[in-house]
Amino acid sequence: MLLTHATLATMTSGYGLIANAAVALDGDRIAWAGPMADLPAAFGALGTHDCQGRLVTPGLIDCHTHAIHAGHRAVEFELRLQGASYAEIAQAGGGILSTVAATRAASEDQLLALALPRIDQLIASGATTIEVKSGYGLTVKDELKMLRAARRIGTQRPVTVKTTHLAAHALPPDYKGRAKAYIDEIALPSLRAAQAEGLIDAVDAFCETIAFSVSDLQPLFTEARALGLPVKLHAEQLTDQGGAAFAARHAALSADHLEFLSPEGIAAMAKAGTVAVILPGAFYTLRERQMPPIAALRSAGVPMAVATDLNPGSSPLASLTLAMNMACTLFRLTPEEALLGTTARAACALALHDRGRIAPGLRADLCIWNAEHPAELSYRIGATSLHKRIYEGRPDV
C-alpha cells in the first residue's frame, strides 16, 4: 500500500514534517517514507491511497489507562462539586474502593464487554496502542481476572494492548493499617501468578499518603525487577513522597502524574532516563492547583509523555487528542511536545521501540487526519478529526 500527497509528521525529530510526502507500507511494516519526488520507482506499483494533503502521523499511544473496571463514580463528581476532596472521599471508603466493589462483582467477560466501548472511544481519537492496568481487584483472584480481561481486548479490536500489574493501587478495608501485610499477602502473590501466566508487561503502584509509601513498595519493586519486569509509578500526584526518585532507582520506564515532583525527583528521573507521564485529565477533574514542573522537566531533558489516565474516578477522559489539548492549555506544553507525548515519548514509556515514529522498519500503525498542520490536533477541543486509522498495515473500514 502506498500513501501519497500526505503532510507527514514523522516525529523523528520534533514534528519531522515532510510536505507532499509518500509512505510505502509492506505488510505490517513501513517500507519507505519521504518526499513524493524521491519515491523509488519500485514502490510506484503499490495500491495507492491519495491523502489529498491530509496530515499523517504515527498511530497514537495511550501509555496510562485504567480502562478495565465496572461501575462509574458520577456521584463522587457531585460530592466534589459540593466541596469534598478526592482524598476525603477515598478515606471515607469511597473513591477507588467503590470501583473495587463493582469490579469484584463483575465477571471477566463482563469486564471485557464494559471496556470495549471505552477502547472504541480511544481508537476513535487515534489510538493504535493502549496500556491497561489492573488495580480494582485487590485480591489475587480479582487482579488476575482484570488482567485476563485486559489481555483479551487485543483479540477483539485492532489495537495493541500492554498490560500492567497494579495490585498496589489501594488498601482494601480488611487490610486497613496493614500495608506491608497487603504487599506480602496480595500484591506479591498476584504479581508472581500474573507473571507465571504471561499476563503482564510491567508493574505499577500508587505511591501516596492515601495509598502506599516508598518503604511499603520496596519489596514489590525488588521482586518485579528480579522477575525481569519493568516498573513505573503513580508518583507525587497529591503530595511529594519521593516516589519519582524511588522509581528512578529501579530504572523505571515512567513516573506518572508528578504535580508535586521535587528538584531531586527531576534530577533522578533525568539520570535514569525515566519518562514523565503527564496526566492533565486527573488534574482537571480534581481541580488541582499545583501544576507539574514542566519547565524544569524540559530543561533537565526528561522526556514527557501525555496520556488519558482513563479511569472512573479521577479522569473519565477517553480522548487522546483532548488530553493533548489539556496538556497544552493547562500545563503549557507546546503542541509539538503534546504530539511527541502521545507518539515517540509514549512508546518509550512502554519500552516499545518499533512504533511512535514514521520510519522504515517500524510498524505500519498510522493516523490520517482531517488536518493540515500537526498543531491542529492539540488546538481543537473535543473534535474527532480522525479521517482514517491504519493498524498493522490495514486501514479501518
Please report, as ranges, the residues that interact with Fe ion according to CB under 5 A: 309
CA distances from 374 to 335, 370, 371 (A): 8, 10, 7
The answer to whether 309 contacts ligand NIG (rule: CB under 6 A) is: yes
Q: Which of the ranges 40-48, 114-122, 174-182, 305-313 carries the binding residues for ligand NIG, by CB under 6 A?
A: 305-313
What DSSP designation does 38 have? Answer: G
The answer to whether 282 contacts ligand NIG (rule: CB under 6 A) is: yes
Nearer to ligand NIG, 57 or 315 (CB): 315
The answer to whether 134 contacts ligand NIG (rule: CB under 6 A) is: no
Contacting ligand NIG (CB under 6 A), which of 58, 172, 312, 335?
Answer: 312
What does 94 bind: ligand NIG, Fe ion, none (CB cut-off 5 to 8 Å by kind)? none
What is the rounded CA–CA span in Å between residue 113 and residue 52?
A: 37
What does 103 bind: ligand NIG, Fe ion, none (CB cut-off 5 to 8 Å by kind)? none
Q: Which of the ranges 52-60, 137-145, 195-203, 306-314 carries the binding residues for ligand NIG, by CB under 6 A?
A: 306-314
* Smallest separation, CB 211 to ligand NIG (Å): 7
The answer to whether 313 contacts ligand NIG (rule: CB under 6 A) is: yes
The answer to whether 99 contacts ligand NIG (rule: CB under 6 A) is: yes
Between 56 and 75, how does the x/- string for binding to ligand NIG read (CB under 6 A)? ----------x---------
21: its cell numbers: 510526502
Nearest Cα neighbor of 219 from 203, 240, 242 is 203
Alpha helices per DSSP H over 273-381: 280-285, 294-300, 320-331, 335-341, 344-349, 375-379
Backbone angles phi, psi at 226, to 5 degrees: -65, -30
What is the SS3 assignment for 195-207? HHCCCCCEEEEEE
* Smallest separation, CB 390 to Fe ion (Å): 29
Q: Which of the ranges 27-35, 51-59, 95-103, 263-271 carries the binding residues for ligand NIG, by CB under 6 A?
A: 95-103
- Looking at residues 177 to 236 of the shown chain, list those that interact with ligand NIG (rule: CB under 6 A): 206, 234
Nearest Cα neighbor of 289 from 98, 85, 147 is 85
The answer to whether 315 contacts ligand NIG (rule: CB under 6 A) is: yes
- Residue given cell 464487554 in the structure block: 113
CA distances from 229 to 165, 360, 384 (A): 10, 29, 36
Name the closest residue to ligand NIG (Cβ). Answer: 313
**Measured between alpha carbons, how far apart are the two ends of the chain, in Å?**
15
Q: Count residues binding ligand NIG (CB under 6 A).
A: 14
Alpha helices per DSSP H over 56-184: 74-81, 86-91, 96-105, 108-124, 140-156, 179-182
Give the interface with ligand NIG as residue ranges (CB under 6 A). 66, 95-96, 99, 206, 234, 237, 282, 309, 311-315
